[in-house]
């Protein structure tokens, strides 16, 4: 289900309830609305259309303009063309258009920089974001990553996920156990890459690591405290060029969990909200759907969909990992291409999205193929996404 359009709290004795859904109707067409109830201690019954006059009724209010509207002479929003001067601000938010990037070569022996260059050659566009992963005592950006960021004619913004609590627990990090680790990385960044801005997610995808056991030091609140402590200490250490991203998983059972909201560290320390989300090309397969579904799928609770939640933070949205899984059993090679064909149009309907980062690998932990060139049709359709001028942004390097 999509966003909540209207809600009502009828009296217990009420025989009818009405909803104003006009906010969801923008033009002529076919619309589908769902009615749900949050009642948990009783049964809520709704009559079906077979009940005739006692069943659901649609009331239309038609308004005729006094004069025929004049067609606008120019679009209400600027149409950005290739080469236009879309730039980024201090938090790497583009003034227009959308940042384009990739994490290539995951779960393989191919060096990340080599994998990204191969991905760029296949897709037809240089990535403006180069996504990598680190954990524990690893120091970054590495020399290879810095070289990719500063490559002549192909400059890129680095985006690193760091599992600062690798080998320990979130609660212990929040209590200061890994301060030496944080301090060492802070000093390294200042000495080796202290000028150019780059993205960092502190322990991405925390949902499947959460424990609900009190005292485990791995609760959702422990996670938020760990992120706040890490960012606060890096800031106190004088690290000024890191833009912090909160990266979620977007799995329904986690989104529906009572602790999910406790994960968010707070707007005062988080600069962007991000999501690692995937869809499946297999018809009727798990998570089969389009890009809108990828961003806003819902479970069994009132969770409004990840994108719908994200915009409530007021932060720019990053699709920090996304891809379409190839079919695991025989299916038409057009299935993945059909999903690709709608990505740009559907992304544009979510204007808070300011960055799109593809995850590309021949085989993930479950053996799923999410390469952009898993079939010739998939590659051809992906190249059309990459060629769209909305991904033209000058990162100022």
Active site positions, annotated: 205, 321
Q: Would you list the DSSP string of 350-371?
A: -TTEEEEEEEE-S--TT-----
Work out the end-to-end distance of the chain between its first and last CA atoms, rounded to an integer number of angstroms.
Answer: 42
- The helices-and-strands tally (H runs, E runs) of the chain is 11, 8
Please state, in angstroms and rounded to a whole number, the distance separating the CA atoms of residues 11 and 9: 7
Q: Are 300 and 259 in contact (CB under 8 A)?
A: no
Residue 381 DSSP one-character state: H
Q: Which of 110, 107, 104 is nearest to 126 (CA)?
A: 104
Which residues are within 8 A (CB) of 210 and not within 5 positions of it... i.e. 6 or more apart?
218, 219, 220, 223, 254, 257, 259, 263
Longest dimension (CA), the chain: 75
- DSSP E strand boundaries for 73-212: 99-104, 129-135, 157-163, 198-202
Structure tokens at 162: 């760091």
With H, G, I as helix, E, B as strand and everything else as coil, classify residue 103. strand
Q: Are 233 and 276 in contact (CB under 8 A)?
A: no
> Whose structure tokens read 């120019």?
74
């Amino acid at each position: 289900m999509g966003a909540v359009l209207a809600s009502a709290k009828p009296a217990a004795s009420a025989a009818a309830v009405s909803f104003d859904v006009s906010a969801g109707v923008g033009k002529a067409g076919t619309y589908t609305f769902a009615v749900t109830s949050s009642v948990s201690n009783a049964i809520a019954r709704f009559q079906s259309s077979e009940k005739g006059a006692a069943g659901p009724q649609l009331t239309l209010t038609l308004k005729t303009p006094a004069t025929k509207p004049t067609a606008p002479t120019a679009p209400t929003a600027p149409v950005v063309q290739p080469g236009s001067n879309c730039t980024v601000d201090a938090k790497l938010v583009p003034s227009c258009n959308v940042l384009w990037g990739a994490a290539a070569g995951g779960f393989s022996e191919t060096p990340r920089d080599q994998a990204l260059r191969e991905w760029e050659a296949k897709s037809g566009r240089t990535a403006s974001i180069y996504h990598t992963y680190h954990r524990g005592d690893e120091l970054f950006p590495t020399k290879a990553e810095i070289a990719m960021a500063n490559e002549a004619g192909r400059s890129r913004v680095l985006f690193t996920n760091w599992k600062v609590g690798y080998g320990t627990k979130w609660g212990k990090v929040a209590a200061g156990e890994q301060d030496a680790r944080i301090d060492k990385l802070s000093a390294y960044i200042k000495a080796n890459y202290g000028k150019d801005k780059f993205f960092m997610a502190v322990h991405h995808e925390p949902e499947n690591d959460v424990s609900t056991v009190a005292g485990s030091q791995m609760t959702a609140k422990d996670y938020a405290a760990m992120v706040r402590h890490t960012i606060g200490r890096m800031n106190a250490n004088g690290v000024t060029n890191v833009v912090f991203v909160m990266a979620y998983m977007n799995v329904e059972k986690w989104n529906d969990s009572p602790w999910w909201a406790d994960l968010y560290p707070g707007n005062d320390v988080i600069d962007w909200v991000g999501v690692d989300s995937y869809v499946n090309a297999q018809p009727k397969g798990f998570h089969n759907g389009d890009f809108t579904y990828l961003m806003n799928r819902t479970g069994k609770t009132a969770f409004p969909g990840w994108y719908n939640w994200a915009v409530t933070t007021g932060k720019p949205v990053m699709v920090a990992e996304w891809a379409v899984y190839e079919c695991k059993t025989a299916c038409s090679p057009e299935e993945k291409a059909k999903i690709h064909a709608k990505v740009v149009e559907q992304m544009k309907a979510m204007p808070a999205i300011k960055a799109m980062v593809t995850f590309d690998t021949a085989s993930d932990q479950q053996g799923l193929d999410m390469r952009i060139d898993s079939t010739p049709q998939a590659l051809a359709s992906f190249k059309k996404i990459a060629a769209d001028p909305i991904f033209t942004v000058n990162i100022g390097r």
